[in-house]
Amino acid sequence: MNAFLRTGLWLGSAALAAGAAGAAVVWSGAYDVGADAPHTRPVYALLEYARERSIAARASGLSVPANLDDAERVRRGAGNYAAMCAGCHLTPGAGPSELSRGLYPAPPNLSQREVDAASAFWTIKHGIKASGMPAWGGSMDDAHLWDLVAFLGRLPSLDAQGYRDLVARSDGHSHGGGENMSGHDHGGEHDDSGGHGHSDAQAQADGVEAPAHAHAAKPHDDGDGPAHSHGDSANEAKPHDEAGTPAHEHEASAAAPTPSPAKARVQPPSTSPPKPAHGHADGQSHPH
């Protein structure tokens, strides 16, 4: 047996042994997949390298728009970054968030890191398996994705106030995709009546999570407490109680005096015999 054949047999045996050992570890559940238990160094290095090479190979064929430094693209991207990315990838001057501290591998702080435009676009669009990075391409078109990439190019140069100002001037969470699936529009300031209410963009810029659709909904009386007041508009819908009776009918009946039970009760006809009549000075007879 020549040396080449012996080497091949040895490598094959080693590979089989390694595969069997790996299968035994997987089957036993010995490998801890908890996010608070870091990978071993060899596993982490392998996954990191595989991720970088996978993204680079797929992003290499992308055509990067020439106008990523356009101020309008940056402005539009700012609102979506604040709504969709800042919780993990952080903002200028801010420390780790509750969400970013709980993710593993830890998401990069993009306020302190320059990114390759093509790689950033591919990652935002397709996400990364077994990580906290979602595939935003399912709800955003490419134009809005490139707006986000444009903002990422500006982000490392912003301070905290510059970031807040830029987000406040943006359209907020507005990309014409999944943010409208529930029937609500996140863009700009609004309320249900068509006026101006809360601003998701302003809340994000201030570092406060915007309330989930805190619109001026009109509650009704469910029997557990008094109905809420809805203002003085004459055309405003009145609340209903559980029986379906409009509240204005109750108000009308409440305004009218209620007869006492004694007066409301129908008196039975008298069975006593009639009193005899007697005469008066006027010549008329009056019964008693």
78, part of any domain: yes
CB 170 within 8 A of CB 75: yes
121, part of any domain: yes
pLDDT (0 to 100) of residue 104 = 93
**To which residue do tokens 């080449």 refer?**
4
Q: What is the DSSP annotation of 58-74? A: HHTT----TTTT-HHHH
The CATH number linked to 121 is 1.10.760.10
pLDDT average per 10 residues of sequence, the chain (288 residues): 76 86 86 90 94 97 96 97 96 94 94 97 96 94 96 97 97 76 40 38 48 40 44 42 43 45 48 51 54
pLDDT (0 to 100) of residue 217 = 40
Bridge partners of 277, per DSSP, are 287
CA distances from 132 to 106, 135, 207, 278 (A): 9, 10, 21, 106
What is the rounded distance in angstroms from the CA atom of residue 40 to the CA atom of residue 139? Answer: 35
What is the rounded distance in angstroms from the CA atom of residue 88 to the CA atom of residue 102? Answer: 10
Whole domain around residue 124: which residue ranges?
Answer: 71-176+199-205
22, part of any domain: no
Query: 66-100 burial, b for 16+ CB within 10 Å, e for fewer?
Result: eebeeeebbbbbbbbbbbbbbbbbbbbeeeebeeb
150, part of any domain: yes
CB 80 within 8 A of CB 147: yes
24, part of any domain: no
149, part of any domain: yes
What is the rounded distance in angstroms from the CA atom of residue 201 to the CA atom of residue 205? Answer: 6
Angle at 24 between CA 22 and CA 30, to 5 degrees: 90
Tell me the Ramachandran region of residue 93: left when phi exceeds 0, alpha when psi lies from -120 to 50, beta otherwise. left
168, part of any domain: yes
**Terminal alpha carbon distance of the chain:** 145
247, part of any domain: no
DSSP conformation class of 220: -
Query: The tokens of 249 are what?
Result: 């009918």
| 34 SS3 class | coil
Query: The tokens of 32 are what?
Result: 């801890």
If one counts the domains in the chain, the total is 1
